[in-house]
Amino acid sequence: MDTKSDKQLVVETLKNGEKFSFLMKKYEKKLLYYIKRLSNISQEDAEDLLQEIFIKTYENLNDYNPKYQFSTWIYRITYNHVISHFRKTKARPQLLSSEDNLILVEKIASDFNIPKDLDKKYTEKAIKRLLKKLDKKYRDVLILKFLEEKDYKQIAYILKRPMGTVATLLNRAKKKFKEILEANNITDFTS
Amino acid sequence: MNDISKKVLNKIKKDQIKPKPKWEFLLKKSVFWGLFGLSIIIGGVAASIIIFMIMTNDWDIPRHLGNSTPAFIFKTLPYFWIIILSAFIGIAYYNFKHTDTGYKYRFSLFVVINILISVIIGFGLFNFGAAKRIDKAFLDHAPLYQELNHKPRVQMWTQPENGLLGGEVIELLEDNQFQIIDFQDKKWIIINTDPKSLEKPPIKEGIIIQSVGEIIDNSTFKAIKIRVWQGNFKEKPKPMKEMKMEMRIN
């Protein structure tokens, strides 16, 4: 079963519901991380949400279009469900964990050509400040690009936004990031 | 099997959850595509009437009145149909967004493409005469349509003091004169001095005309230019006697 593709697993699940466990096993960890990155809720709450997401996925299996990757499709369901959950509970998603902030710091720094000899602690402080100030739409894109390592096409599909918009959001996040660094007198970087 | 998978499978069994049938998704998609298509068509109809009203507008009149063209355009734009077109572009976008491919396109690009498609459909309908017929149907049957859409033009042609007078020809008189009833139900004698209209087929009773000229007295108007009303005009309800006669003939 491990060697079967997601598309094959979907076909088999539609014939025999028990086979859904293979898809769940494959995506459980990834999606749990993603849920917590979107919301920074507890492990227990994240697992509850994940169960709801898997059930929703199962119910909508006949809507899966094999033209797209299954992983992108289930990420879209996850994103929509988490956002919908916070809308209903009227809670605000919490910020990223310290660990994820660190990963984000390294990846953004690398992607945006910030010199590696900068005081990492200082940059991390600046980035935490930036991320705190960042609009949700920028954070969502940054999480998918740098933490979930999705490409532009996949991000566009998951967030249901045009690719051009995704690129614009990332560029704006980059500009805001630079502004914060400049505000903290960190100007010695290539643009 | 781990905990989450077990819980999910148990819930699926317990609540007898099944994957929704494919036809449900196909139906939903068809509805969105169908509504999208319908919105495009209605947008095209709105565009065709906008084109019709622009083409039959009295573009030569601002000069006569000494008004600026922008002010004239502002006054006579078919706002009703512009609002309809805008609304259906919005409805089309909403439905398109809910299709599989809709998310790929920005709203601004969608609007531009939609307007282009509406204009193409609009010109097509206009050239086939459909725009004129649809506008007439609305005029004759939709309450308040003349008020909403044609009022500025009617008002413009009710300015005898400014040399603009319109109305229905009710009686042909001698010496190139005829009587009209204007849009405020006032009767006028028109003295026709327009050489072009004298050459053309004669003015008939029942037609709506536009005349440019000058007021002579309270009920006489000297016309230097006359033409048949461009575009549509609301038919007045016929007197009962005339309707009964028509029914007997038919």
My answer on whether B55 and B93 are in the same domain is: yes
Asked whether B163 and B212 are in contact (CB, 8 A), the reply is: yes
CATH number for the domain spanning B221: value is 2.40.50.140
Write A110-118 long-range contacts (CB < 8 A, 24+): A111/A146, A112/A174, A112/A177, A112/A178, A112/A189, A113/A189, A113/A190, A113/A191, A114/A181, A114/A186, A114/A189, A115/A188, A115/A189, A115/A190, A118/A186, A118/A188, A118/A189
My answer on whether B113 and B213 are in the same domain is: no
My answer on whether B101 and B194 are in the same domain is: no
Question: Which residue of A45, A55, A67 to mutate against B (max B Cβ within 10 Å)?
Answer: A55
Tokens of residue A41, six digits: 């809720």
Assessment of whether the complete model's pTM goes beyond 0.90: no
My answer on whether B64 and B134 are in the same domain is: yes
How large is the average pLDDT for residues B153-168? Answer: 91
Mean of pLDDT over chain A: 82
Domain region containing B32: 22-141
- Please count the residue pairs, one from chain A and one from chain B, whose beta carbons lie less than 8 angstroms apart: 67
Give residue-wise pLDDT tens across range A105-127.
667 666 666 655 555 555 656 66
My answer on whether B30 and B136 are in the same domain is: yes
Q: Residue A65 above 60 pLDDT?
A: yes
> Using CB atoms, which residue from A54, A55, A162 is nearest to B106?
A162
Contact A51 B7 (CB under 8 A): yes
- For residue B2, list chain A residues with Cβ-Cβ distance below 8 A: 25, 28
> Is B227 part of a structural domain of the chain?
yes
CA distances from A70 to A12, A29, B12, B18 (A): 14, 15, 21, 19
Give the CATH architecture of domain A6-89.
Orthogonal Bundle (1.10)
Asked whether A20 and A51 are in contact (CB, 8 A), the reply is: no
User: Which chain A residue is nearest to residue B21, measuring alpha carbons?
Assistant: A62
Q: In which residue ranges of chain A is CATH 1.10.1740.10 found?
A: 6-89
User: Which chain B residue is nearest to residue A27, measuring alpha carbons?
Assistant: B5
> Is B28 part of a structural domain of the chain?
yes
Contact B5 A28 (CB under 8 A): yes
Tokens of residue B13, six digits: 């069994």
Give residue-wise pLDDT tens across range B104-114.
999 999 999 99
Report the pLDDT value the prediction gives residue B124, as an integer from 0 to 100: 96
Tokens of residue B147, six digits: 């008020």
Phi, psi dihedral angles at B188 (to 5 degrees): -135, 150
My answer on whether B162 and B120 are in the same domain is: no
Report the pLDDT value the prediction gives residue A126, as an integer from 0 to 100: 63
Contact B12 A58 (CB under 8 A): yes
My answer on whether B78 and B169 are in the same domain is: no
Nearest Cα residue to B62 out of B43, B48, B76:
B76
Report the pLDDT value the prediction gives residue A188, as an integer from 0 to 100: 46
The verdict on B18 touching A (C-beta cutoff 8 Å) is: yes
Q: What is the CATH number of domain A98-183?
A: 1.20.140.160
User: Which chain A residue is nearest to residue B12, measuring alpha carbons?
Assistant: A55
Give residue-wise pLDDT tens across range A162-190.
999 999 999 888 777 777 667 766 554 44
Torsional class of B231: left (φ above 0), alpha (ψ -120 to 50), beta (otherwise): left
- Domain end residue (candidates: B106, B141, B176): B141
The verdict on B128 touching A (C-beta cutoff 8 Å) is: no
Asked whether A71 and A6 are in contact (CB, 8 A), the reply is: yes
Report the pLDDT value the prediction gives residue A189, as an integer from 0 to 100: 43
ipTM value: 0.79
pLDDT band at B35 (very low <50, low <70, confident <90, very high): very high
Give residue-wise pLDDT tens across range A22-53.
999 999 999 999 998 888 788 899 999 999 99
Domain count, chain B: 2
Q: Residue B92 above 70 pLDDT?
A: yes
Report the pLDDT value the prediction gives residue A130, as an integer from 0 to 100: 67
